[in-house]
Amino acid sequence: MPSITVNVDDDLKDRMEEHPEINWSEVTRQAIQEKIETLEVMDELTSDSELTESDVADIADRINQSGRERVEKQSE
């Protein structure tokens, strides 16, 4: 399996190290997978559209925000 390098600042690295039970590589892989899937759906939905890339990015941002809000509500 290929490897990639992800740079994080010192504060984030310190915070990650407070949770050694977490497989941060897996968390990163899942986040990338979810983003790719979102982009692929957006590409499919907009393939015959006259939307600009900026429009598509805005829609993707709205979807991501909605997902974050759902997760926050579930954790309350």
Query: Minimal CA–CA distance to 8: which of 27, 34, 33, 21?
Result: 27
The gap from C-alpha 56 to its chain's centroid, in whole angstroms, comes to 15
pLDDT score of 71: 85
- What does the pLDDT look like over 45-57, one tens digit per residue? 778 878 788 888 8
In the predicted model, is pLDDT for residue 28 greater than 80?
yes
pLDDT score of 51: 78
Which structure tokens are listed for 23? 């497989």
Percentage of residues of the chain with pLDDT beyond 70? 100
